[in-house]
Structure 1
Amino acid sequence: MKKIGAFAEVIVALNTRSTDRVFHYAVPAALQDKVEVGIRVLVPFNNRSLAGYVTGFGFPENTVNIKEIAGVLDAEPVFTPELLELARWMAENYLCSTAEALQRILSPRLLVKGQRVVKQVHPAIQAKDLESALNSLSRAPKQAALLKKAMINPGLTRKELAVAEGVSASVVDTLVEKGLLVISPENSPRRLVRVAQTSVDSNGLVLNDGQKETLDQVARDIRQGMFKVFLLHGITGSGKTEVYMQAISITLGTGRQAVVLVPEISLTPQMVDMFRRRFGGQVAVLHSALSGGERYDEWRRIKEGEASVVLGTRSAIFAPLPRPGLFVIDEEHESSYKQDDHLRYHAREVAIKRAQIAGAVVLLGSATPSLESQLKASAGGPYQLLKLTDRIDGRPLPLARVVDMRLEMKGGNSGIFSRTLVAAVNKRLDKGEQVLLFLNRRGYATFIICRECGLVLKCPRCDISLIYHRDGRLRCHYCNYTVRAPDLCPSCGSQSIKHFGAGTQKVEEEARQFFPEARLLRMDSDSTARKGSHSKIINAFRDRQVDILIGTQMIAKGLDFPGVTLVGVINADTTLHMPDFRAAERTFQLLTQVAGRAGRGELPGEAIIQTYNPDHYSITAAAAHDCDRFYLSEMPVRRSLGYPPFSHLARLLFTHEDEEEVKKGAGQAKETLKNILAGSGKNISVLGPAPAPLSKIKDRYRWQLVIKASRRDLLRDVIRESLSSLEKGPSSIRPVVNVDINPQGMM
């Protein structure tokens, strides 16, 4: 509330900790009715005009140099007191500026564009006439499927509708000519998908006893408006998604809203379809594959109360819901919920804090919970553990077989497919069933080496091997540098330059040779680079137009295809030997998740796991679908090494174009930290400095320090105290310091 004569308290939009405080500005008479808490303004600052955020009104200690606000950037508030409190918590928790946190929260709003006229496609028939129209299209299945899609999603553009169903735009034109669809121009926001306000299945499925018991416990706190965190540990195929949706229905019934996060954009099309069939036009979608305008339009719908269910990836946690009542984090263990550059927040942590502020419920779901969540859900922990131990309708978990690829080599098979896997795939294809083949590496080959002089071709900008792709080009998957693969060794001129290792492109090539009659598709970040490609691939596989789907981790979780009866893991060891203390955990989670894609329909499933480490506990536990076995093996290792979840880590990453400068800066930081800790009595250890595993990316050298402490607040305090010293001196010669609290990776 404004005080008479008070000055506006403004946080200037600078991402520096030195300016992270409130500055007071006078409000000119012409702007008195426009300046309020929650809007952005233009203010003079150090001979520049900068944007700022109005956070309150008050009086400074000294009013000598008070300047006036130059202008107002918003017609109405763009953040609420709840989101401002969240931004301040993020600044404290992740050691960033409040302005940087607000920019992250408001990023879709900052992409605002004007309205435009689009041509929208609408059904020309009523719902009661749909069955008759579909009968008339019995010999045109693509047209029938497109008409059903248009009935559920009226208002798509011609291109959007075609992409959503995975057909050409000419199919739309044919239905227009038949009088079943109509195209009309409208002033419209740029929504990726528009839906009817009525849903087709608002009641949901009948829950089994385990699901009902789980829902009852969550519903009690939702209705009471209490802050609570639940960890839902449900095996693959146990019906977690239906629990989510019925919990959302209960939340909406209380007049509040819900956010659902998924870890991969590839999961979004299937989840969107499922959620919109349940909640219709109340669903908004937020993820990075949308254009800036599309994200803004969805942000606007959410803020104005038109959309009460938000579905998206990590950044959707900042959706401007007026009264959030439920936050669902599906596959809560996934590292993709951690932002790995700039402001390094974790969406799971942000969700819990936001729920605490709003008095909301958090539902963390996973078949393979993170060790951190598992420990917090143990006796006396802050999370309440819920379990779903059976698959829907009593379906069995897929039988998993581990194939020792060392024995395959001894038997004369040096290919990427074991004889066991080839036989299993042929068996499934003969029965008309579907197969997933999983390898968490894209490209064709993982490196190129000269067998004469030993040269490995690396990216000139990054300290990493170039990946060979089937088009004959070498690519860096970190900076996108690309060059044509040489015929001769650039070092010695030898012709003995060959590519080794396997990626998804090579799996696809060999699969076409082994299974020539099968219809194949590949799903990785190369094949899904174009907009709408995720939906096109998933729709084709769902509609049984594809027999074998080959992919990376995009296909490993969340997807639900009843026709899949076999999952083949080409190489289970790709994540196991990464230089990361979480390598075993990630291997177990990934294998369990991908194996769980099989046997989700009426037919039983099978998983074949190819590995060179068949006795490793992460692989044997995944093959047995046994989380407890894995935890009993991994927890003692973590405890003995003092790693999370039994400690907290922070990573200080130093980057600079000059290798000596970055090495010098990291060394000085170590000395600063030692001086701060000397005699403090705090149980904090500093590891390093040392080059990061990826010691150069995009022409910047990288060194790191890892700080370990028993409590998170101890980490923050010592780093905050040291940052002022680390950031002194001309910015042109000192390294950039990136702070990552509890990093999910050390690369």
Structure 2
Amino acid sequence: MHAEVLVSLALRQVDKVFHYNVPPSLAGKVQVGSRVLVPFGRRKVEGYVVGFSPAPNPADLKDVAALLDEGPLFTPHQLALARWMAAYYLCPTVKALRAMFWPLLQVKGPKKVRGLWPAACCEVPDPRRAPKSAAVWQVIQARPGLSRKELAEAAGVSPRVVDAMVARGLLRSEERIESRDPCQDLPEKRIKPPVLHGEQIRAVSKIIEALDQKGGRQVFLLHGVTGSGKTEVYLHAISAALARGKQAMMLVPEIALTPQMIDIFRGRFGRQVAVLHSRLSDGERYDEYQRLRTGEAGVVLGARSAIFAPLEQPGLIILDEEHEPSYKQEESPRYHARTVALRLAGYAGAVVVLGSATPSMESYCQAVGGGAYHLLELTRRVGELPLPSVRLVDLRRELQEGNKGMFSRDLREAIARRLSRREQVILFLNRRGYSTLVVCRECGLVLKCPHCDISLTYHVSGRLRCHYCNYSVLAPSLCPGCGSRHVAYLGMGTQKVEQEIRRLFPTARVLRLDSDTVGRRGAHREIIDTFREGEADILIGTQMVAKGLDIPGVTLVGVINADISLYMPDFRASERTFQLLTQVAGRSGRGEQGGEVLIQTYSPDHYAVTCAQNHDYQGFYRREMALRRTLGYPPFTHLARLLVTGRVEKEVQEAADFLAQAVHAAGVPVELLGPAPAPLTRIKDRYRWHLVLKASVQSVLREAATAALDGFSGTGRYRRVQVSVDIAPQSMM
């Protein structure tokens, strides 16, 4: 038997198994899941052992050069999932596989530190004769394992005193493994589960019933209004899974992975919870991964990539806010965590719970249109609290009546009332920065990023910044095109909203939550905790404030401009707008005072806005589905997007034309849109063209895309052009 190795080169040409001899020195050590070094051509490359089988030509085989890790990096479940991802998303298998175990490659191993312990048999220092040694002894008894410096500081003595005690045999020095726990600074508060209401009890009972059944996966869509207690349903279901010896996984969108959620889970399950998200250090992620691999932790709380956590017995997989586009990976492998979760549950016979106040059209259709999902509904808020009243403010009328400011008179008055009653306000604007457009009023030049086809955003630091490639430059005082001094700063971002709020309400305590304010580690928790504890009156933010916040003191939510996402060049624009407005409105009225929402809009008659005003998900679903059916968009068809990028625009256009011809030549029943320039035609100095394929059966899309890619790679003409495939794209930008 010879080792089957996937070489770590993410190329279509080498996306296959290569056989290697296992030399006698590595016999019994190389196993499925091992990372090895193998000769490949004229060099040695990293590879992963995925099986053992007889080779067709054993005489020509080369030996495995080295074993790079002691144990396996991935489980059989993960390998099966990676192979499915490669076939489904048309990505190299090795890329899918690396997405599952990459945290194990970022650091060399566990963190080892040298610490001090009291010797087992020794004379206890006398406090009267040796007060300093006695002080050290008292500290080390209470806190064994401290370093030399830590022990000296805690005892209030010189490090020489500690050294002397080591020399006398009173203390022993040993190396130990120190856990890099991302939650080690959080207080351990065990939380008693609250009493569930009727709808919650029914939902939990249905999930537990599914957990007790043996066989294939079962999928539930938990549709609950904001504040209806979906999180408590998740927690009770997880408790039930753990009680049955199964592991559980809870995924949340990255922006919704708030400290509040971490506190709740740690308070309920303690050290059984492992946290996985992008804000962790490499060492923290490595240690959390190891706790899951060894079974020390049985609950995963994390963002998109946590779907690949190494669970041996996954019994329950939960996706909160399942509609969120952030569950889609926008780089290869371009997977959707929801789709992967469903496949993983199929392998493990697990239960999947998809939760949202505003489910995606695709998921709700699966639940009510005779699909594979079971619908669970929570129609009332916990404690019978009413949903907030929502008022629309027509910005067209405000402008006609002479109000050119960013705040309508109604919103200014509503904020003033809340401040006078010492209640809290959230202001939402889905755009950060100060001014979103810098234009010369003399020649009309718009200042754009030199590397991307996107306008630069002005920040109060005095710099212009590109939010795609992070290019930054000092704002000019003269127009670079004509030298005019008439440079205007138009539009608004969260910084400008903050400045205007401070001008209108100088005594208000104001916080801002966006990507610019949470760059520092721990800043997100700091801002939310400050607001939750009532130490601020107004919180201004982007999508980070739209979900995951449960703050009873908030009685007013103001949406500065509902139209920002409504007219994006994307067929999901109406759906995203409805979801965003509904979610941010749900932050209001979670306490006994009740709540109100004011939505400022230039489109008060659009069904996405009016349905959000009336908390009418079913009404929006009916309108949107009728439109999707007419236009032939998901869930009535399936989509795939071929994105062509390169530094020379003519080459990109020619390559896109070639791909279109290859799709036609494949002779499969797909509808082709394009090729055409992508809405964002250049990012990071690379021009972008795309083709969109539509078909009634998804496998047909993959057949057409594969034929196009094979023809493209076979020509060898477009070496400086890259082509990526996105199956079921969530963004057309």
Give the structure-2-normalised TM-score: 0.90
Aligned partners of 2:440, 2:155: CA distance in 1, in Å?
59
Number of equivalent positions: 684
Paired amino acid for 2:203: T
In structure 1, the partner of 2:701 is 715
1:58 aligns with 2:53: yes
In structure 1, the partner of 2:195 is 206
Paired amino acid for 2:488: K
What is the Cα deviation at residue 236 of structure 1? 0.2
Partner SS for 1:745 = coil
What is the Cα deviation at residue 728 of structure 1? 3.1
Equivalent residue for 1:312, pick from 272, 291, 302? 302
Paired amino acid for 1:255: G
Paired amino acid for 2:323: H
Is the CA contact (8 Å cut-off) linking 2:95 and 2:332 kept in structure 1?
A: no
In structure 2, the partner of 1:589 is 579
Aligned partners of 1:270, 1:388: CA distance in 2, in Å?
22
1:98 aligns with 2:84: no
In structure 2, the partner of 1:166 is none
What is the Cα deviation at residue 197 of structure 1? 12
Is the CA contact (8 Å cut-off) linking 1:523 and 1:552 kept in structure 2?
A: yes
1:701 aligns with 2:687: yes
After TM superposition, the structure 1 stretch with the greater mean CA deviation from structure 2, 215-224 or 569-578, is 215-224
Partner SS for 2:4 = strand
Aligned partners of 2:338, 2:189: CA distance in 1, in Å?
29
Cα deviations by residue, 1:326-348 (Å, 9 ceiling, x for unpaired): 11100000000000122110000
CA separation of 1:118/1:579 partners in 2, compared to 1, >3 Å: closer, same or farther?
A: farther
In structure 2, the partner of 1:16 is 11
Aligned partners of 1:745, 1:109: CA distance in 2, in Å?
31
What is the Cα deviation at residue 268 of structure 1? 3.1
In structure 2, the partner of 1:649 is 639
1:605-616 correspondence runs (5 A): 605-616=595-606
What is the Cα deviation at residue 196 of structure 1? 9.8
1:216-295 correspondence runs (5 A): 216-226=205-215, 227-295=217-285
Aligned partners of 1:470, 1:635: CA distance in 2, in Å?
43
Is the CA contact (8 Å cut-off) linking 2:458 and 2:465 kept in structure 1?
A: yes
Cα deviations by residue, 1:41-77 (Å, 9 ceiling, x for unpaired): 1111112211111111111222232111111122111
What is the Cα deviation at residue 402 of structure 1? 0.4
What is the Cα deviation at residue 155 of structure 1? 12
CA separation of 1:546/1:156 partners in 2, compared to 1, >3 Å: closer, same or farther?
A: farther
In structure 1, the partner of 2:139 is none
Is the CA contact (8 Å cut-off) linking 1:225 and 1:325 kept in structure 2?
A: no
1:515 aligns with 2:505: yes
Aligned partners of 1:446, 1:195: CA distance in 2, in Å?
38
Aligned partners of 2:346, 2:315: CA distance in 1, in Å?
10
Paired amino acid for 1:636: A
Partner SS for 1:64 = helix
Aligned partners of 2:699, 2:182: CA distance in 1, in Å?
42
In structure 2, the partner of 1:180 is none
1:361 aligns with 2:351: yes
Is the CA contact (8 Å cut-off) linking 1:197 and 1:282 kept in structure 2?
A: no
What is the Cα deviation at residue 198 of structure 1? 8.1
Partner SS for 1:511 = helix
Aligned partners of 1:157, 1:696: CA distance in 2, in Å?
54
1:367-386 correspondence runs (5 A): 367-386=357-376
Aligned partners of 2:87, 2:558: CA distance in 1, in Å?
45
In structure 2, the partner of 1:630 is 620
Larger Rg: 2
In structure 2, the partner of 1:39 is 34
Is the CA contact (8 Å cut-off) linking 2:34 and 2:48 kept in structure 1?
A: yes
Is the CA contact (8 Å cut-off) linking 2:91 and 2:332 kept in structure 1?
A: no
CA separation of 1:117/1:721 partners in 2, compared to 1, >3 Å: closer, same or farther?
A: same
1:337-736 correspondence runs (5 A): 337-677=327-667, 680=668, 682=669, 684-730=670-716, 733-736=719-722
Is the CA contact (8 Å cut-off) linking 1:198 and 1:281 kept in structure 2?
A: no
What is the Cα deviation at residue 224 of structure 1? 2.2
Is the CA contact (8 Å cut-off) linking 1:689 and 1:705 kept in structure 2?
A: yes
Paired amino acid for 2:20: Y
Partner SS for 1:645 = coil
In structure 1, the partner of 2:81 is 86
Paired amino acid for 1:343: P
Aligned partners of 1:535, 1:573: CA distance in 2, in Å?
29
Runs of 4+ with deviation above 4 angstroms: 117-120, 154-158, 173-177, 195-199, 729-732
Paired amino acid for 1:238: S
Paired amino acid for 2:731: G
Paired amino acid for 2:25: A
Paired amino acid for 2:461: D
Cα deviations by residue, 1:103-129 (Å, 9 ceiling, x for unpaired): 111111121334446799xxxxxxxxx
Cα deviations by residue, 1:21-55 (Å, 9 ceiling, x for unpaired): 11111111111121111221111111221111111
What is the Cα deviation at residue 533 of structure 1? 0.8
In structure 1, the partner of 2:323 is 333
CA separation of 1:157/1:104 partners in 2, compared to 1, >3 Å: closer, same or farther?
A: farther
Aligned partners of 2:380, 2:642: CA distance in 1, in Å?
43
CA separation of 1:59/1:581 partners in 2, compared to 1, >3 Å: closer, same or farther?
A: same
What is the Cα deviation at residue 265 of structure 1? 3.9
What is the Cα deviation at residue 368 of structure 1? 0.1
Aligned partners of 1:519, 1:99: CA distance in 2, in Å?
51
Cα RMSD, aligned residues only: 2.2
CA separation of 1:435/1:734 partners in 2, compared to 1, >3 Å: closer, same or farther?
A: same
CA separation of 1:617/1:80 partners in 2, compared to 1, >3 Å: closer, same or farther?
A: same
Is the CA contact (8 Å cut-off) linking 1:259 and 1:309 kept in structure 2?
A: yes
Paired amino acid for 1:710: S
Is the CA contact (8 Å cut-off) linking 2:10 and 2:94 kept in structure 1?
A: yes
What is the Cα deviation at residue 354 of structure 1? 0.4
Paired amino acid for 1:406: R
Aligned partners of 1:731, 1:533: CA distance in 2, in Å?
49
Aligned partners of 2:185, 2:406: CA distance in 1, in Å?
45
Paired amino acid for 1:26: N
CA separation of 1:197/1:695 partners in 2, compared to 1, >3 Å: closer, same or farther?
A: closer
In structure 1, the partner of 2:124 is none
Aligned partners of 1:302, 1:334: CA distance in 2, in Å?
26
Gaps in structure 1 of 5+ consecutive residues: 1-5, 121-153, 159-172, 178-183
Aligned partners of 1:320, 1:609: CA distance in 2, in Å?
44
Percent identity of equivalent pairs: 56
Partner SS for 1:664 = helix
Aligned partners of 2:555, 2:467: CA distance in 1, in Å?
32
CA separation of 1:212/1:513 partners in 2, compared to 1, >3 Å: closer, same or farther?
A: same
What is the Cα deviation at residue 732 of structure 1? 6.8
What is the Cα deviation at residue 222 of structure 1? 1.2
CA separation of 1:542/1:475 partners in 2, compared to 1, >3 Å: closer, same or farther?
A: same
Gaps in structure 2 of 5+ consecutive residues: 116-142, 157-172
Partner SS for 1:8 = strand
What is the Cα deviation at residue 543 of structure 1? 1.2
Paired amino acid for 1:721: A
What is the Cα deviation at residue 13 of structure 1? 1.3
Is the CA contact (8 Å cut-off) linking 1:195 and 1:280 kept in structure 2?
A: no
1:743 aligns with 2:729: yes
Is the CA contact (8 Å cut-off) linking 2:7 and 2:46 kept in structure 1?
A: yes
What is the Cα deviation at residue 216 of structure 1? 0.5
After TM superposition, the structure 1 stretch with the greater mean CA deviation from structure 2, 378-387 or 271-280, is 378-387
In structure 2, the partner of 1:124 is none
What is the Cα deviation at residue 176 of structure 1? 10
What is the Cα deviation at residue 186 of structure 1? 6.5
In structure 2, the partner of 1:70 is 65
Partner SS for 1:100 = helix
